Structure 1
Amino acid sequence: MTAQASAFDKKNRLENQWPAPLSAKELDRTFPGILDSTVMLSAGANIIMQLALPAVGYGVAESRVKSGSVLHRPFKRTRTTFTYLAVAMMGTNEEKLAYRKAVNGAHRQVYSTDSSPVEYNAFDPELQMWVAACLYWGFVDTYQKVNRPLSHAEQEAFYRLSHPLGTTLQVRQDMWPKDLDGFEAYWQNGLKHLSIDERVREFLMIIADLKFLSPVSQFLFGRFNRFITTGFLPQELRDQMQLEWNDDKQRKFERFVRMAGRISRLFPRPIRQAAYLLPLWDFRRRLKKGKPLI
């Protein structure tokens, strides 16, 4: 363990004040479609939003953990991310603690060096708070674009269940804004601190254009992924990423995501939620057998 990681560990001993988790079935009954796999449509945009905070961007771009890199192990990276989302939202306290320990093992290797343009540490709760805020915002924003607007009461109810997206790791409970108004203030302030330089932009364009996949996959899906990723981004981040957008593309984007939502709703719930249920099943199998969790 590095001295930096140890310092963050000691500073951020967490009380486990997690809400009683809802099952996948209960979440779908309360917020129909909230865990549908259509959230994968916005995955690229969410990554860009997270990494647009410079310390997060360089932490990922310079990460020594190649086994968890989307560029080197894209499918493992996707599995790890959706496992975290599933455990944070639906896991028991014991499961959250187990996955925290596993993720911490990888995070101990992610910290800046003297040559890094910005200082970062994967154990920094402020950086984790921004990542968790992006994950929560992505759930709600994608749901409303693909399905329907959520009422204020529905948003409040989902928000109360969402703080484990951060507190499963090093985000303290008192750091998570108490209500939607507090979150909105945090979010708007966070957007002001986003900055994408050329190095991070090049890294993110590899993700937007699927250049980490095979040439055939790039050819078949690269242009579409850039289009859908751009559609889910706020305009200020489109500008920083130098991604073109106009009213015609916006109309095409809205038509596509609404169609995706209609098609998704035709499938049974377990199929709609496969992006979460399969990683959660695999996590529990690994945990029971004592296998590595990430």
Structure 2
Amino acid sequence: MIDALALPEPLLRRIGAAASEMMGSAPGMDFDFSAPAGEPALVPAESVSWRVFKNPVTLFIGGVAAVLLELAEPGVRDGVWQHSSFRTDALTRLRRTGLAAMMTVYGPRSRAEAMIAGVVRAHDRVAGITSEGDSYRANDPVLLDWVQATASYGFIRAYHFYAEPLSYRERDSALAEGAAVARLYGAVGAPRSEARMAALFAKMDARLVPSPIIHEFLEIMAKVPALPWVARPFQKMLLRAAVSLLPDPLIDRLGLEDRRLRGFERKLVRAVARMAERVPLLDSPPAKASERLGLPADWLWKR
């Protein structure tokens, strides 16, 4: 583990507050991760997932990679694009999605379960016809498994490639840790190991197709103030880092070959992600969740 970076506490508080814009707040959905005292999360504090989700840089990269994979599947693509506010209010949508991710990993179990139940109820109303003429339902088990798989793939792979390498066993553990959350969403077939992830990607490959919506999504993401102000000069580069996480044949199939990271950028992304790995974000959900369990706020950064 990389040693935590010692910075003055006032500066740490400012950085943590800025990162919390992305990691744990959304209009009408602010939540105190430090309460109720002692209540465990759906995922144990000693888990690989708690390490992975604390890094705001790889969280952003992995989240974008997950959405790209989801938008490549027509049922998920049109379910998102036809039934969400992303086109008209991308920032709120992003923050709500970020908060949901934080809740599933760091939130108290009772609140996380209630949030997921609400999402499942909302998805019951989402159905339609894709632009290819096929019907879809948001709570279709095949689509649920794919969405859960793409989220795991994006977050784990981004952390592994850009922040800190994870062993094969650690990557397997991270996938297995998500099983409880996946079941609550109804994704009972979501992969719980690297081998099953590879098998699902092979199974879904023929369903993944190009679409103008994928390029529209990336254009929106390039303009929306998704990151704290200090990180916004890197935003387009982090989008390229997300594209680069996709399998090479799929990048070409989706027409994203010109959106890969350039050679020098890969080193820069790693430097930024590794710096984020060393800076304790004392106002962020990971820190507050640690306090809820009686641990020091900077515990995760010193493991």
Provide TM-score, normalisation by structure 2: 0.67
Larger RCO (CA under 8 A, 6+ residues apart)? 2
What does the per-residue CA deviation read over 1:116-147, in whole Å, with 9 as the maximum and x for residues that have no partner?
Answer: 73311111121111011011111211011112
RMSD: 3.4
| 1:131-184, Cα deviation, whole Å (9 max, x unpaired) | 110111112110111123211221222222112442231222xx2345332232
Given candidates 246, 269, 273, the residue that maps to 1:257 is: 269
Tell me how far apart the structure 1 counterparts of residues 277 and 131 of structure 2 sit (CA, whole Å). 49
Matched, 1:56 2:76: yes
Q: Distance in 1 between matches of 2:130 and 2:251?
A: 31
Unaligned runs of 5+ in 2: 1-40, 291-303
Percent of aligned pairs sharing the same letter: 20
Query: Deviation digits for residues 240-288 of structure 1, max 9, x if unmatched?
Result: 33233499x44223202211123213311536xx3x549989xxxxxxx
Q: Which moved more, 1:34-43 or 1:47-56?
A: 34-43
| 2:186 aligned with 1:166 | no
Return the offset for 1:194.
Answer: 0.7
Contact 2:79 2:126 in 1 (8 A): yes
State whether residues 116 and 184 of structure 2, in contact with CA within 8 Å, keep that contact through their aligned partners in structure 1.
yes
Which SS does the other structure have where 1:127 is aligned?
A: helix
Verify: 1:97 aligned to 2:113, yes or no: yes
Residue from 237, 242, 248 that aligns with 2:250: 237
* Alignment pair present for 1:80 and 2:89: no
User: How is 1:127-276 mapped onto 2 (pairs within 5 angstroms)?
Assistant: 127-172=143-188, 175-198=189-212, 200-210=213-223, 223-224=236-237, 226-245=239-258, 249-270=261-282, 274=284, 276=285
Q: Does the Cα contact within 8 Å between 2:65 and 2:243 map onto a contact in 1? A: yes
For 2:256, give the aligned amino acid: L
Per-residue deviation, 1:104: 2.9
Unmatched segments (≥5 aa) in structure 1: 1-18, 282-294
Instruction: State how 1:15-30 maps to structure 2 within 5 Å.
Output: 21-23=43-45, 26-27=46-47
Measure how far apart 1:110 and its partner are. Answer: 1.7
Q: 1:35 to 1:189 in 2, by over 3 A?
A: farther
Aligned residues, how many?
245
Q: Which moved more, 1:253-262 or 1:222-231?
A: 222-231
